Structure 1
Amino acid sequence: MKKPWIDIFNLSRFQKLNDKEQIELIHRLYDLLNYGFTLSESFEFLIKHIKIKSTLVSQTILSELRNGAHCYQILKILKYPNTVVMLIYFAEMFSDLSESLMYAQDYLARNYKAKQSLIKTVQYPVVLMAVFITMLVILNHTIIPEFHDLYESMDVQISTVQLYLTQIIINLPSIICYFIFIILLIIVIVKILYRKLPIKYKHQFVLTIPILSKIFKLYKTYRIAS
């Protein structure tokens, strides 16, 4: 089964709970509902025992509960993934909320494992790249100047190939840093523009990118199947 990669990158600066806290809250909510607590009583209890970064969010949740808010509305305030919010929304309308909470917990747990796996996969090449750039910087400030002074003192003419290689080694750290910066800048700009597009044009945009379009189709198939 395909992993929900899109939710892995769906990070928000206004996220109220981290991944583990989201899973824990769903699990505790399931237990409280099964023990006979109402939805309002369960959330009031959980808010007191789960640390929410913003007191304003806690007050908003309590206010919404007094006004008869549904479970999916509270989860939306807490910035749960849209998939979970949608699942709980339909569960409250047509199904059993308690049972659906277990499916939501399983989804969040699989998503969390996928995220950890992705971090471990990316971590190794990032460390290697950092070590490589560090070695180049050290090389540029220690060994290459020594060789340059040695050639000058011995009046040795450096060949064109050696000169080009030396220039590449000297400039390579800057080139790599600029390249990474430009790539990140392009990603941020594309992401900002993508968010402003209507749904129809978002799909058309994604489907025009060869590799991404295949991943997008597989993800949509997985999501509908789920």
Structure 2
Amino acid sequence: MLMGLSQKIRITPFKKKTLKSDLQLRFLHRLERSLSSGYPLLDALETIKWDQSLVKEAEQMILMLKNGESIDKAFSRLGFHHSITSFLLFTRSSGNLSESLVKCKDMYQKRITYTKKFEQIIRYPIILLIIFSLLLFFLNRTILPSFENMFHTNPETNTSIHLSMEIIAFMNHFTLVIFALVVGTVIFWLHKKKSIPIEKRIIIYQSIPIYKSYLRMQTSFLFATHLSSLLKTGMSLKDIFNALENQENLPIISHYAKHVNKNLGTGVHLTNVIKQIPLLDKQLTIIFQKNTNTFNLEKDLSIYAELLLEEIHQKILKIFTYIQPIFFIILATFIIFIYLSLMWPMFQLMNTI
């Protein structure tokens, strides 16, 4: 429909920026609701302009679509999150934009929920951790040196104070080094990630225990979702894997699709190829073994993707339940250490009297 628009409209260049998450979600919600009500795409975008906070984005998207841009590239240029644009990547082939919008809206809604919940969970522990770190620094710089001067005549007590000061100094230096390493690693990864070959990136991902499990579920979910969506169009598996290989939004999926095409070209059965891919769940192998026709395969992949999304949701929430206890255990350790640092010299002095 969009490709049939012969009139080209000049688009004023604009800088790509990241749209606020709440505006992204509202845009998706309003567009999906208008499409579900029977509006054509361009008319649905016109209805979004009724929301004053989305007028600029709706106008820019209308201009881009009339100029021949694909829906996923239009969303990308407007600064929508890559998880949204990756979901809309194959709407040109499947033609089911409304269904894709429902899926990516639900997924992005969960992402916002996770982010807010994580911020709520970690906010107070971090504040308390900073306060106790400052308290340890103050203890090491002022109180313990005063104790050292006070008890310099008692060698045993003085040794305990020295040990406490060394432990606190080590903890402060260790914390600073870890913080610097984390920040440096993140900055390096953000700048150099695209220059690292995808094969090496996958090896790095697989070496991170918790993230490896999450990435396997996420990759399996995206693989099953897009494969199911493209199977609905009647495309052959060969054409589907070619489409997955040629897209750029999902580099891991593209890499694995290339691996599948290469092995299928040598006569290896699809089930055996998928079984060899480390970041795809073994359940996918069972699904491909079970189904001999594309209709049943599409249905099973769709249901499996929904179950996998729910499993991802449950596991992320479970991880969140461990965050606060871990932080509070660290804080409790700090409190006990401060107490012992202050009271232990007193106890030693009392024993000598």
Q: In which range does the TM-score fall when normalised by the shorter chain?
A: 0.7 to 0.9
Residues 39 and 71 of structure 1 are in contact (CA less than 8 Å); yes or no, is this contact kept in structure 2?
no
TM-score by length of 1: 0.73
Percent same amino acid among aligned pairs? 19
**Amino acid of the structure 2 residue aligned with 1:73:** K
> What is the count of residue pairs matched by the alignment?
208
Pair 1:129–1:109, CA change in 2 (3 A) = same
> Which whole-Å deviations, capped at 9, do the CAs of 1:132-189 have from their partners, x for residues lacking one?
202112323442233233235xx44454343122232245334322321122212322
Matches within 5 A, 1:1-226: 15-35=17-37, 37-43=39-45, 46=48, 49-50=52-53, 61=61, 63-151=63-151, 155-157=153-155, 159-170=158-169, 172-225=171-224, 226=305
How far apart, CA to CA, are the structure 1 residues paired with 2:110 and 2:137?
A: 41
**3-state SS of paired residue (2:90):** helix
How far apart, CA to CA, are the structure 2 residues paired with 1:214 and 1:104?
A: 21
**3-state SS of paired residue (1:80):** coil
**3-state SS of paired residue (1:50):** helix
Residues 72 and 89 of structure 1 are in contact (CA less than 8 Å); yes or no, is this contact kept in structure 2?
yes
**3-state SS of paired residue (2:151):** helix
**Amino acid of the structure 1 residue aligned with 2:101:** L
How far apart, CA to CA, are the structure 2 residues paired with 1:185 and 1:28?
A: 40
**Amino acid of the structure 1 residue aligned with 2:74:** I
Pair 1:36–1:118, CA change in 2 (3 A) = same
Larger Rg: 2
**Amino acid of the structure 2 residue aligned with 1:91:** T
- Which runs of no fewer than 5 residues in structure 1 stay unpaired? 1-13
Mean Cα displacement is larger for which, 100-109 or 215-224?
215-224
Q: CA deviation at 1:60?
A: 5.6
Q: CA deviation at 1:26?
A: 0.4
How far apart, CA to CA, are the structure 1 residues paired with 2:90 and 2:210?
A: 33
Residues 72 and 85 of structure 1 are in contact (CA less than 8 Å); yes or no, is this contact kept in structure 2?
yes
Q: CA deviation at 1:213?
A: 3.4
Residues 36 and 98 of structure 2 are in contact (CA less than 8 Å); yes or no, is this contact kept in structure 1?
yes
Residues 151 and 158 of structure 2 are in contact (CA less than 8 Å); yes or no, is this contact kept in structure 1?
no
How far apart, CA to CA, are the structure 2 residues paired with 1:167 and 1:199?
A: 45
Residues 88 and 101 of structure 1 are in contact (CA less than 8 Å); yes or no, is this contact kept in structure 2?
yes
How far apart, CA to CA, are the structure 2 residues paired with 1:210 and 1:172?
A: 26
